[in-house]
Structure 1
Protein backbone atom coordinates (compact mmCIF):
# COMPACT_ATOMS: atom_id res chain seq x y z
CA UNK A 1 0.00 0.00 0.00
CA UNK A 2 1.32 3.42 -0.94
CA UNK A 3 1.07 6.12 1.68
CA UNK A 4 1.15 9.79 0.83
CA UNK A 5 2.36 12.36 3.29
CA UNK A 6 2.53 16.13 3.02
CA UNK A 7 6.15 17.06 2.53
CA UNK A 8 5.86 20.80 1.91
CA UNK A 9 6.53 23.13 -0.97
CA UNK A 10 10.35 23.37 -0.73
CA UNK A 11 10.73 19.59 -0.66
CA UNK A 12 8.41 19.21 -3.66
CA UNK A 13 10.42 21.85 -5.51
CA UNK A 14 13.64 19.99 -4.69
CA UNK A 15 12.15 16.69 -5.87
CA UNK A 16 10.98 18.29 -9.11
CA UNK A 17 14.45 19.72 -9.59
CA UNK A 18 15.92 16.24 -9.20
CA UNK A 19 13.24 14.62 -11.38
CA UNK A 20 13.32 17.11 -14.23
CA UNK A 21 16.43 17.25 -16.37
CA UNK A 22 18.78 19.99 -15.21
CA UNK A 23 18.44 21.54 -18.64
CA UNK A 24 14.68 22.10 -18.32
CA UNK A 25 14.13 25.16 -20.48
CA UNK A 26 12.04 28.17 -19.61
CA UNK A 27 9.05 28.61 -21.92
CA UNK A 28 10.94 31.25 -23.93
CA UNK A 29 14.03 29.04 -24.28
CA UNK A 30 11.82 26.15 -25.38
CA UNK A 31 10.18 28.30 -28.06
CA UNK A 32 13.52 29.60 -29.35
CA UNK A 33 14.94 26.08 -29.59
CA UNK A 34 12.19 24.91 -31.94
CA UNK A 35 12.94 24.88 -35.63
CA UNK A 36 10.75 27.66 -36.98
CA UNK A 37 11.24 30.37 -39.53
CA UNK A 38 12.00 33.67 -37.75
CA UNK A 39 8.92 35.77 -37.05
CA UNK A 40 9.61 39.12 -35.37
CA UNK A 41 5.86 39.60 -34.77
CA UNK A 42 5.97 36.82 -32.17
CA UNK A 43 7.90 39.07 -29.78
CA UNK A 44 5.05 41.59 -29.52
CA UNK A 45 2.38 40.97 -26.87
CA UNK A 46 -0.30 40.39 -29.51
CA UNK A 47 2.13 38.26 -31.52
CA UNK A 48 2.68 35.97 -28.53
CA UNK A 49 -1.07 35.69 -27.96
CA UNK A 50 -1.81 34.94 -31.60
CA UNK A 51 0.99 32.35 -31.83
CA UNK A 52 -0.33 30.50 -28.78
CA UNK A 53 -3.94 30.50 -29.96
CA UNK A 54 -2.95 29.55 -33.50
CA UNK A 55 -0.99 26.56 -32.16
CA UNK A 56 -3.92 25.46 -30.01
CA UNK A 57 -6.34 25.76 -32.93
CA UNK A 58 -4.09 23.68 -35.19
CA UNK A 59 -3.76 20.91 -32.61
CA UNK A 60 -7.43 20.53 -31.77
CA UNK A 61 -8.75 17.80 -34.04
CA UNK A 62 -12.36 18.82 -33.54
CA UNK A 63 -14.01 22.07 -32.57
CA UNK A 64 -14.75 21.95 -28.83
CA UNK A 65 -18.05 23.24 -27.44
CA UNK A 66 -16.19 26.23 -26.07
CA UNK A 67 -12.91 27.65 -27.32
CA UNK A 68 -9.77 26.42 -25.60
CA UNK A 69 -7.87 29.34 -24.10
CA UNK A 70 -4.24 29.90 -23.19
CA UNK A 71 -5.31 29.61 -19.57
CA UNK A 72 -7.06 26.28 -20.21
CA UNK A 73 -3.84 24.77 -21.59
CA UNK A 74 -2.04 25.81 -18.41
CA UNK A 75 -4.94 24.91 -16.08
CA UNK A 76 -5.08 28.49 -14.77
CA UNK A 77 -8.19 30.46 -13.80
CA UNK A 78 -8.53 34.10 -14.87
CA UNK A 79 -11.51 34.63 -12.59
CA UNK A 80 -9.43 34.10 -9.43
CA UNK A 81 -6.35 35.76 -7.94
CA UNK A 82 -3.56 36.15 -8.88
CA UNK A 83 -5.00 36.86 -12.34
CA UNK A 84 -8.14 38.67 -11.22
CA UNK A 85 -8.52 41.53 -11.37
CA UNK A 86 -6.14 41.79 -14.35
CA UNK A 87 -4.56 45.01 -13.12
CA UNK A 88 -3.40 43.27 -9.93
CA UNK A 89 -0.75 41.31 -11.88
CA UNK A 90 0.03 43.79 -14.68
CA UNK A 91 3.35 45.19 -13.44
CA UNK A 92 6.07 44.41 -10.89
CA UNK A 93 4.65 47.03 -8.51
CA UNK A 94 1.26 45.29 -8.38
CA UNK A 95 0.43 42.97 -5.48
CA UNK A 96 -0.16 39.80 -7.54
CA UNK A 97 2.60 40.20 -10.13
CA UNK A 98 5.03 37.74 -8.54
CA UNK A 99 2.23 35.34 -7.59
CA UNK A 100 1.02 35.32 -11.21
CA UNK A 101 4.53 34.61 -12.53
CA UNK A 102 4.98 31.84 -9.96
CA UNK A 103 1.60 30.32 -10.91
CA UNK A 104 2.56 30.33 -14.61
CA UNK A 105 5.95 28.72 -13.92
CA UNK A 106 4.27 26.04 -11.79
CA UNK A 107 1.79 25.45 -14.62
CA UNK A 108 4.68 25.20 -17.12
CA UNK A 109 6.47 22.60 -14.98
CA UNK A 110 3.22 20.64 -14.60
CA UNK A 111 2.70 20.79 -18.38
CA UNK A 112 6.21 19.40 -18.94
CA UNK A 113 5.52 16.58 -16.52
CA UNK A 114 2.16 15.83 -18.18
CA UNK A 115 3.47 16.01 -21.74
CA UNK A 116 6.55 13.77 -21.61
CA UNK A 117 5.71 11.41 -24.48
CA UNK A 118 7.20 12.08 -27.92
CA UNK A 119 3.80 12.00 -29.62
CA UNK A 120 2.70 15.12 -27.71
CA UNK A 121 5.71 17.29 -28.52
CA UNK A 122 3.49 19.72 -30.42
CA UNK A 123 1.32 20.16 -27.33
CA UNK A 124 4.49 20.83 -25.31
CA UNK A 125 5.37 23.56 -27.79
CA UNK A 126 1.84 25.00 -27.50
CA UNK A 127 2.12 24.93 -23.70
CA UNK A 128 5.46 26.75 -23.96
CA UNK A 129 3.85 29.43 -26.14
CA UNK A 130 1.02 29.79 -23.63
CA UNK A 131 3.41 30.04 -20.68
CA UNK A 132 5.66 32.53 -22.48
CA UNK A 133 2.61 34.65 -23.21
CA UNK A 134 1.46 34.64 -19.60
CA UNK A 135 4.98 35.37 -18.29
CA UNK A 136 5.23 38.49 -20.44
CA UNK A 137 3.54 41.20 -18.32
CA UNK A 138 2.37 43.19 -21.34
CA UNK A 139 1.01 40.14 -23.16
CA UNK A 140 -0.65 38.90 -19.97
CA UNK A 141 -2.35 42.26 -19.46
CA UNK A 142 -3.58 42.46 -23.07
CA UNK A 143 -4.78 38.86 -22.87
CA UNK A 144 -6.62 39.17 -19.56
CA UNK A 145 -8.20 42.54 -20.36
CA UNK A 146 -9.04 42.15 -24.06
CA UNK A 147 -8.58 38.75 -25.67
CA UNK A 148 -9.70 36.31 -22.96
CA UNK A 149 -13.08 38.06 -22.45
CA UNK A 150 -13.57 38.07 -26.25
CA UNK A 151 -12.81 34.35 -26.48
CA UNK A 152 -15.22 33.61 -23.62
CA UNK A 153 -17.95 35.60 -25.39
CA UNK A 154 -17.33 34.81 -29.08
CA UNK A 155 -15.39 31.54 -29.02
CA UNK A 156 -12.48 31.15 -31.43
CA UNK A 157 -13.65 34.19 -33.37
CA UNK A 158 -12.74 36.21 -30.25
CA UNK A 159 -9.01 35.76 -30.86
CA UNK A 160 -9.09 35.01 -34.58
CA UNK A 161 -10.60 38.34 -35.67
CA UNK A 162 -8.06 40.35 -33.65
CA UNK A 163 -5.10 38.31 -34.89
CA UNK A 164 -6.29 38.33 -38.50
CA UNK A 165 -6.77 42.12 -38.44
CA UNK A 166 -3.22 42.48 -37.10
CA UNK A 167 -1.90 40.18 -39.85
CA UNK A 168 -0.68 37.62 -37.33
CA UNK A 169 -2.48 34.54 -38.69
CA UNK A 170 -2.39 33.01 -42.13
CA UNK A 171 -5.97 32.32 -43.17
CA UNK A 172 -4.79 29.63 -45.60
CA UNK A 173 -2.84 27.66 -42.98
CA UNK A 174 -4.97 28.01 -39.86
Structure 2
Protein backbone atom coordinates (compact mmCIF):
# COMPACT_ATOMS: atom_id res chain seq x y z
CA UNK A 1 0.00 0.00 0.00
CA UNK A 2 1.26 3.45 -0.90
CA UNK A 3 0.66 6.02 1.88
CA UNK A 4 0.57 9.70 0.84
CA UNK A 5 0.75 12.39 3.52
CA UNK A 6 -1.44 15.47 3.14
CA UNK A 7 -0.59 19.13 3.75
CA UNK A 8 -2.19 18.80 7.20
CA UNK A 9 -0.75 16.10 9.48
CA UNK A 10 -3.22 13.31 10.20
CA UNK A 11 -5.29 12.69 7.06
CA UNK A 12 -3.72 10.25 4.62
CA UNK A 13 -4.36 9.20 1.03
CA UNK A 14 -4.00 5.45 0.70
CA UNK A 15 -3.36 3.67 -2.58
CA UNK A 16 -3.87 -0.08 -2.24
CA UNK A 17 -2.07 -2.62 -4.38
CA UNK A 18 -4.44 -3.52 -7.19
CA UNK A 19 -4.02 -6.75 -9.13
CA UNK A 20 -5.85 -6.74 -12.45
CA UNK A 21 -6.20 -8.73 -15.62
CA UNK A 22 -8.78 -9.23 -18.37
CA UNK A 23 -11.23 -10.63 -15.76
CA UNK A 24 -11.20 -7.52 -13.59
CA UNK A 25 -9.22 -6.69 -10.45
CA UNK A 26 -8.57 -7.67 -6.85
CA UNK A 27 -7.47 -5.47 -3.96
CA UNK A 28 -7.49 -5.54 -0.18
CA UNK A 29 -9.45 -2.56 1.10
CA UNK A 30 -8.71 -3.44 4.72
CA UNK A 31 -6.04 -5.59 6.31
CA UNK A 32 -5.31 -4.86 9.98
CA UNK A 33 -1.67 -6.00 9.79
CA UNK A 34 -0.89 -3.98 6.65
CA UNK A 35 -2.52 -0.84 8.05
CA UNK A 36 -0.78 -1.25 11.43
CA UNK A 37 2.56 -1.56 9.62
CA UNK A 38 1.73 1.78 7.94
CA UNK A 39 1.11 3.35 11.38
CA UNK A 40 -2.67 2.97 11.38
CA UNK A 41 -3.43 0.52 14.18
CA UNK A 42 -7.20 0.95 14.02
CA UNK A 43 -10.19 -0.77 15.54
CA UNK A 44 -13.28 -0.28 13.42
CA UNK A 45 -16.73 -0.75 14.95
CA UNK A 46 -19.09 0.26 12.14
CA UNK A 47 -19.30 0.17 8.32
CA UNK A 48 -21.51 2.61 6.40
CA UNK A 49 -22.63 2.86 2.77
CA UNK A 50 -24.10 5.95 1.15
CA UNK A 51 -25.56 6.15 -2.38
CA UNK A 52 -26.00 9.55 -4.06
CA UNK A 53 -26.57 11.22 -7.40
CA UNK A 54 -24.24 13.84 -8.87
CA UNK A 55 -24.22 17.12 -6.96
CA UNK A 56 -25.11 15.78 -3.51
CA UNK A 57 -22.99 17.43 -0.83
CA UNK A 58 -22.85 15.61 2.51
CA UNK A 59 -21.04 17.36 5.35
CA UNK A 60 -19.19 18.70 7.07
CA UNK A 61 -19.93 16.23 9.88
CA UNK A 62 -18.19 15.37 13.14
CA UNK A 63 -19.04 13.94 16.55
CA UNK A 64 -18.00 15.60 19.79
CA UNK A 65 -17.80 13.83 22.17
CA UNK A 66 -17.25 10.44 20.59
CA UNK A 67 -15.02 11.57 17.72
CA UNK A 68 -14.87 9.18 14.78
CA UNK A 69 -11.92 8.23 12.64
CA UNK A 70 -13.11 7.27 9.14
CA UNK A 71 -11.55 5.22 6.37
CA UNK A 72 -13.46 6.22 3.24
CA UNK A 73 -13.56 5.00 -0.36
CA UNK A 74 -15.74 5.00 -3.46
CA UNK A 75 -16.78 1.77 -5.20
CA UNK A 76 -18.93 3.35 -7.92
CA UNK A 77 -18.74 6.91 -9.24
CA UNK A 78 -16.58 9.68 -7.81
CA UNK A 79 -16.45 12.27 -5.00
CA UNK A 80 -14.41 15.24 -3.90
CA UNK A 81 -13.72 14.29 -0.27
CA UNK A 82 -12.74 16.85 2.36
CA UNK A 83 -11.40 16.86 5.94
CA UNK A 84 -11.22 20.02 8.09
CA UNK A 85 -8.98 20.18 11.15
CA UNK A 86 -11.14 21.02 14.18
CA UNK A 87 -8.45 20.54 16.84
CA UNK A 88 -8.07 23.96 18.49
CA UNK A 89 -4.58 23.00 19.72
CA UNK A 90 -3.44 22.25 16.16
CA UNK A 91 -1.44 24.82 14.19
CA UNK A 92 -3.66 23.75 11.26
CA UNK A 93 -6.99 24.48 13.01
CA UNK A 94 -9.62 25.44 10.42
CA UNK A 95 -7.56 24.27 7.44
CA UNK A 96 -8.81 21.67 5.00
CA UNK A 97 -7.50 19.01 2.65
CA UNK A 98 -9.39 17.47 -0.25
CA UNK A 99 -8.90 14.53 -2.58
CA UNK A 100 -10.82 13.00 -5.45
CA UNK A 101 -11.83 9.44 -4.71
CA UNK A 102 -13.31 7.30 -7.45
CA UNK A 103 -14.05 3.75 -8.45
CA UNK A 104 -11.43 4.25 -11.17
CA UNK A 105 -8.53 5.46 -8.96
CA UNK A 106 -9.40 3.10 -6.05
CA UNK A 107 -7.85 5.52 -3.56
CA UNK A 108 -8.90 5.55 0.08
CA UNK A 109 -8.77 8.48 2.48
CA UNK A 110 -8.06 8.26 6.21
CA UNK A 111 -9.85 11.02 8.16
CA UNK A 112 -8.64 10.91 11.79
CA UNK A 113 -10.56 11.84 14.90
CA UNK A 114 -10.71 15.60 15.44
CA UNK A 115 -11.66 16.43 11.84
CA UNK A 116 -14.94 17.36 10.19
CA UNK A 117 -15.63 15.28 7.09
CA UNK A 118 -17.75 15.69 3.98
CA UNK A 119 -17.92 15.04 0.27
CA UNK A 120 -19.45 16.23 -3.00
CA UNK A 121 -20.54 13.57 -5.48
CA UNK A 122 -19.08 14.13 -8.95
CA UNK A 123 -21.03 11.38 -10.75
CA UNK A 124 -24.49 9.83 -10.69
CA UNK A 125 -24.99 6.58 -8.79
CA UNK A 126 -21.99 7.13 -6.52
CA UNK A 127 -21.51 4.53 -3.80
CA UNK A 128 -19.41 5.75 -0.89
CA UNK A 129 -18.22 3.32 1.81
CA UNK A 130 -16.64 4.14 5.13
CA UNK A 131 -15.44 2.38 8.24
CA UNK A 132 -15.70 4.18 11.60
CA UNK A 133 -13.66 3.84 14.79
CA UNK A 134 -16.58 4.91 17.02
CA UNK A 135 -20.30 4.14 16.66
CA UNK A 136 -22.62 6.80 15.28
CA UNK A 137 -24.16 8.83 18.11
CA UNK A 138 -26.75 11.27 16.71
CA UNK A 139 -26.90 13.22 19.98
CA UNK A 140 -23.19 14.08 19.54
CA UNK A 141 -23.25 14.87 15.82
CA UNK A 142 -22.49 18.40 14.62
CA UNK A 143 -22.12 20.09 11.25
CA UNK A 144 -19.59 22.68 10.19
CA UNK A 145 -20.95 24.91 7.43
CA UNK A 146 -19.78 23.46 4.12
CA UNK A 147 -19.39 26.97 2.69
CA UNK A 148 -17.90 28.81 5.69
CA UNK A 149 -15.61 31.50 4.19
CA UNK A 150 -13.31 31.22 7.24
CA UNK A 151 -12.48 27.67 6.07
CA UNK A 152 -12.69 28.39 2.33
CA UNK A 153 -13.12 24.89 0.91
CA UNK A 154 -12.61 25.03 -2.87
CA UNK A 155 -15.46 22.69 -3.83
CA UNK A 156 -15.44 21.78 -7.57
CA UNK A 157 -18.93 23.19 -8.15
CA UNK A 158 -18.61 24.30 -11.79
CA UNK A 159 -22.09 23.73 -13.22
CA UNK A 160 -23.29 22.03 -10.02
CA UNK A 161 -25.92 23.37 -7.63
CA UNK A 162 -25.19 21.33 -4.49
CA UNK A 163 -28.04 19.30 -3.00
CA UNK A 164 -27.96 19.51 0.79
CA UNK A 165 -29.94 18.00 3.64
CA UNK A 166 -31.73 20.38 6.00
CA UNK A 167 -29.13 19.54 8.66
CA UNK A 168 -26.25 20.40 6.32
CA UNK A 169 -27.87 23.69 5.29
CA UNK A 170 -27.81 24.65 8.99
CA UNK A 171 -24.10 23.93 9.60
CA UNK A 172 -22.33 26.29 11.97
CA UNK A 173 -19.45 28.64 11.26
CA UNK A 174 -15.98 27.56 12.38
CA UNK A 175 -16.12 30.18 15.14
CA UNK A 176 -19.34 28.57 16.49
CA UNK A 177 -18.65 24.82 16.32
CA UNK A 178 -17.92 22.68 19.34
CA UNK A 179 -14.33 22.02 18.29
CA UNK A 180 -11.88 19.60 19.90
CA UNK A 181 -9.19 20.52 22.44
Select the structure of larger CA radius of gyration: 1
Does TM-score exceed 0.5, indicating one fold?
no
Q: TM-score, length-normalised on structure 2?
A: 0.29
Q: TM-score, length-normalised on structure 1?
A: 0.29
Structure with bigger helix share is 1
Structure with bigger strand share is 2
